[in-house]
Amino acid sequence: MGKPAIPYLIKGLDHERGSVQYKCAKALGQLGPAAKSARPALEKLLRSRNRDLVLVAKESLEEIGH
């Protein structure tokens, strides 16, 4: 997985299932600075009621360089 997957992972952040959102956020973080275009979508997850999603979004933003 690499840069070509980023748009699909960003789209996955809006999925109805939290598990899909979590995995996409985690994968984006693992891509690091290459996933900087995901920042707005990850920042949106920070307002989630799901604590796990908030935590993974924070971690991913840090890994991306937010």
pLDDT number for residue 66: 60
Q: Which fold has domain 3-64?
A: Leucine-rich Repeat Variant (1.25.10)
Give me the torsion for CA of 13, 42, 36, 10, rounded to 10°.
Answer: 10
Write the pLDDT tens digit of every residue in 37-50: 999 999 999 999 99
Q: How far apart are alpha carbons 50 and 33 in whole angstroms? A: 25
Give Rg (Cα) of the chain: 10
pTM of the entire predicted model:
0.93
Average pLDDT in the 1-18 region? 94
* Mean pLDDT, range 22-31, rounded to an integer: 98
To the nearest whole number, what is the mean pLDDT of the chain?
A: 96
What per-residue confidence (pLDDT) applies to 22? 98
Q: Which residue ranges make up each domain of the chain? A: 3-64
